[in-house]
């Protein structure tokens, strides 16, 4: 199993912001959201959208796959 944070891009290739989050697809576990409380999750829900990308920039909304 690889370390997800080690593979995470440091910045968005579109705008250069360091606000990158992993996109997570599939059903949402409601209990997970309850556990998060007021803290901000380190992922973004991709729901069932296509194409499926790996990363999303919180600053500009750009989505991409791969490590850059």
Residues 31 and 66: their CA atoms lie apart, in Å, by 30
pLDDT at 59 over 70: yes
pLDDT, one tens digit per residue, over 28-57 is: 777 877 777 776 767 777 766 677 888 999
pLDDT, one tens digit per residue, over 6-36 is: 588 999 999 999 999 988 887 777 787 777 7
Domain map (residue ranges) of the chain: 8-64
* pTM: predicted TM-score of the whole model, two decimal places: 0.66
């Amino acid at each position: 199993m690889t370390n997800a944070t080690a593979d995470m891009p440091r910045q968005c290739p579109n705008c250069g912001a360091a606000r990158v989050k992993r996109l997570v697809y599939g059903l949402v576990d409601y209990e997970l959201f309850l556990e998060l409380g007021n803290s901000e999750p380190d992922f973004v829900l991709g729901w069932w959208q296509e194409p499926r990308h790996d990363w999303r920039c919180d600053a500009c909304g750009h989505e991409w796959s791969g490590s850059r």
